[in-house]
Chains A and B, each alone.
Chain A
């Protein structure tokens, strides 16, 4: 988590956390089983994927929310 690039929060973490937990619980997903299905290679791949997407999202958000300079 701490290795991710600067984080942006549109919705509080707890809300997202509850939502994800509830969705998994409703569908009868056992987290321990799911963790066991991931190989170290897959974990590394997913970690890199999320880091890359975080960078892209942050770049996009910075670009669209930063104050614009005049063009003339």
Chain B
């Protein structure tokens, strides 16, 4: 969680380094891939979670946001753990890859979550944002991981 207070008068004041995000707000982020994957390695797990908070001509604004980065890291950790368990238990890399991909695709994980908050000419405002989608996603991945290792008699 992060907490910040702003007290500034300005025409173009972008808190939290968001000026770059506004520029790309309507861009298609899916074109930004830096690593190309073969078609058989495609996964439907795709998530965008962007937050834009724009404060101008305001004073004493308190912002409390969910740490999306931590959530995404946790999600990747869970996906890796599921892939690892499947890989160790099955051994055969082709089949374990197919099982892991099947599991991830069951959830049709594609989500887009965009929040835009605009505050202008205000004083004493308290903003709290949460990202419920990410929380649920992480819980489901954990449930799958636990179900898998119970089946394998690890727990």
Contact = CB atoms under 8 A, between A and B. Distances in A.
User: Do A and B belong to a common assembly?
Assistant: yes
What is the predominant secondary structure among interface residues of chain A facing chain B? helix
A19 B143 CA distance: 11
B13 to A, nearest CB: 20
Contacts of A9: 139, 143
Interface string A48-72: 0110011011001101110010111
A16 B154 contact: no
Interface string B68-94: 001100100110010011001111000
B126 interface: yes
Contact of B130 (A16, A28, A64): A64
Contacts of A10: 136, 139-140, 143
A26 to B, nearest CB: 7
Interface in B56-76: 60, 62, 64, 66, 70-71, 74
Given A43-B154, A53-B81, A54-B142, A16 B102 contact: no
Best-surrounded residue of B66, B77, B89 (most CB of chain A within 10 A): B89
B135 A65 contact: yes
A26 B102 contact: yes
Contact of A60 (B62, B74, B149): B74
Contact of A64 (B135, B147, B151, B155): B135
Contacts of A64: 66, 71, 130-132, 134-135
Nearest to A39: B88
Contact of A23 (B66, B81, B106): B106
B66 A29 contact: no
Contacts of A63: 1
9 contacts: A1-B146, A7-B146, A23-B99, A34-B90, A37-B90, A46-B85, A50-B146, A54-B146, A70-B126
Interface of A: 1, 3-4, 7-11, 13, 16-17, 19-21, 23-24, 26-29, 31, 34-35, 37-38, 42-43, 46-47, 49-50, 53-54, 56-57, 60-61, 63-65, 68, 70-72
